[in-house]
Structure formats: structure tokens, C-alpha cells
Amino acid sequence: MSSYAEELRATAQAMMAPGKGILAMDESHSTCNQRFEKLGIPTTEERRRAYRELILTTPKLSDFISGAILYDETIRQSSQAGLPFTQMMQAAGLIIGIKVDTGAKDLAACAGEKVTEGLDGLRERIAEYYQMGARFAKWRAVITIGSQMPSLTCLEANAHALARYAALCQEGGLVPIVEPEVLIDGNHSIQRCDEVTDQTLQVVFSQLRLQKVALDQMVLKPSMVISGQDCAQPASVEQVAEFTVNCLRRNVPATVPGIAFLSGGQSNLQASQHLNLINAQYADRLPWRVTFSYARAIQQTALEHWAGNDAQIPAAQQLLYHRAKLNGAASLGQYSAEMEQQQPVLA
């Protein structure tokens, strides 16, 4: 048992506080720069810093956000006034999280499939991040659906890495967010996504047990069970909620304290509607707290409004706060379509 067990349980509970979710703002350079390029924002360290400062200084963000996942560059940065982001987050009541994987790389002998890397030196990196104030971590595995995919090779390789990462995190005092993302890319049906998500979660929990991960000291960050983005007959909100709840109930032990979904390319509206219906309709069937750990479905509107123009920071922050609020409501099953209309009026 980790000497941090009590602390890890308390951190996991705080990450899953009622009415709150986790903000993913851990885009690597390449992902962040791609998003900036589309909006004509210079892809410099300073602009990435300015954008992350915009997010972290959003007034009252902690009303609906328990913690935020940072990238290695970000955890070392400071505000324009010189205050380290870590101190800023602690003062704002945001738990500091850190992405510790080093990205999804091509998996040898499995064309088109990926395996996430980052185990080398991880124990030492975890110790450094803990000293810097981080209390949870994240590692994302990417599973692609195709005619011959995913292969068992890909599922096992990714689950093994996720489990070894999670065990190291718990040893070093960080709550591991275990993120097996089944990609929305493709024209597959919701039934096919269900089959793949089911298989993925089975393999992941089998490896977590094998690596002696304490299931009551982690958070699962799965994708929802949903039809592919090019599917001819997209699944309804009701189907997504039902398939997702059933799949999770089949595979996720009740001792896991919380599930925080990724948005995975869903629209803002879909991400809020799906999370809401899961909580509104199935509350009595969920042994875990179920919330969000969205990146795009919370940030994108604000990023587009800012677009690198600092005069737009207050308006962009209002937009960010608004999406955090709506998803906070969805995590309680209290979101409604009318709330979308309460969008802040921007100058």
C-alpha cells in the first residue's frame, strides 16, 4: 500500500467534488500550436503562456472546476506579473494536475495503431512534480477503431503502460487519471464503439489489478460510447447515455471514486447533453461520481474569442466560465437547454 494512501483518497474525492469537474489544459506543443495556427495565433512560448494565464485567472473558475491538468511547459511558467502558475492555482483553490505521458507513438508491427510512451524516468519526474505542488497526473492511451483494429497487441501494450504509470503515481503521491480514449474517428456504429470500449476497459482493469494499482485512489477518464463522427446514422443522446452507463457498469468496479469523461471531438452541446442525461437519468445506477475532464468542450469557444488578442481576455474568460458552469450543472444532472441561452453578452 502506498504511504500516500490516505492523501490519495482525499485528493481523488476533492477532484470529484459535487458540481465540479476537471479542466484539461495539457495540450502538448504540437496540439496547442495546431489550434493556434488555425486562428492565426503566433505559436510561441509566450503566446502559450498568455493563453494559459487567461484560463487560470478566470474569476471564480473553481466554482465548477476542481483541478486543472497542465503540460510540463505550463507547470514551470508564471503570470506576466511573475507569480508562478502553481502558486496562482493553489490560491485559487485549483488542484494541480500534470500530464506525464510523452505522447502516442506508432506501435511496431501494428500499422495504424499507437502506444503511449513516457515510462522512462517517470519515478523521478513524479517526485519533481509532487515537489512543485502537483497532486494528480494524467496519461492518455489512444485506441483506434477500424476493420482490423484495435488489435489485442495494441490494447495490451497500452493497458500495461497505463497500469505501470498508475502504480508509479500512487507510489509518489499523485492520483493517476487513467485515460483510455477510444477515438470518435470513423464511420462505426455505437454498437461497434460499445464492443471496443468494453474490450478496452476489460484489459485496462485487468492490468491495473496485475500492477497492484489501488482502485480507490485513481480516477478513470474514458470516452463515452458514441457512434463514429462519420457514421451515417448518428446515435441519439439517449442512446449514448444508455450505452455508456451500461458499458461502465459492466467494467468499472464500484470502488473507483470517480469517472471524468473526455469530450473527444463532441460539440459543446453534445458533451453537456450526454453528461447531463447520464447523471439525470441513471443517478441511482452510478456507484461512482460521474463528471467531466474536458479540454475542447470547455476551452474552444474561449480560445476562438481570444484568438491571441489580449483585449478580448475578459470576454474569453466569461465564455470559459460559462461552459464550466454548464458542465458543472450537467455533472449534477441539472443542465438544461435554457442555460445555453444565458451565454454572456460580449462587447
* Residues catalogued as catalytic: 179, 221
Minimum CB distance to ligand 5MM, residue 64 (Å): 15
d(CA 46, CA 3): 39
Cα–Cα distances (Å) from 314 to 46, 53, 127, 321, in that order, read: 19, 12, 36, 10
Q: Which positions from 147 to 186 touch ligand 5MM by CB under 6 A, shown as an x/- string?
A: ----------------------------------x-----
Q: Which positions from 122 to 141 touch ligand 5MM by CB under 6 A, shown as an x/- string?
A: ------------------x-
- Of 303 and 329, which CB lies nearer to ligand 5MM in the complex structure? 303
Residue 311 burial (CB < 10 Å; 0-12/13-18/19+)? exposed
Q: Is 208 helix (H, G, I), strand (E, B) or coil?
A: helix
Please check whether residue 33 is in contact with residue 303, taking contact to mean a CB–CB distance below 8 angstroms: no
d(CA 263, CA 251): 20
- Of 112 and 209, which CB lies nearer to ligand 5MM in the complex structure? 112
Quickly tell me which residue has 445506477 as its cell: 285
Please check whether residue 177 is in contact with residue 137, taking contact to mean a CB–CB distance below 8 angstroms: yes
b/e sequence 26-38, b meaning 16+ C-beta within 10 Å? bbeeeebbebbee
Minimum CB distance to ligand 5MM, residue 122 (Å): 16
- Of 31 and 80, which CB lies nearer to ligand 5MM in the complex structure? 31
- Of 4 and 291, which CB lies nearer to ligand 5MM in the complex structure? 291
- Of 31 and 187, which CB lies nearer to ligand 5MM in the complex structure? 31
Minimum CB distance to ligand 5MM, residue 296 (Å): 3
**Among 23, 235, 295, 319, interactor with ligand 5MM by CB under 6 A:** 295
**Among 264, 274, 316, 335, interactor with ligand 5MM by CB under 6 A:** 264
In the complex, the residues that contact ligand 5MM under the rule CB under 6 A are 24, 26-28, 31, 103, 140, 181, 262-264, 294-297
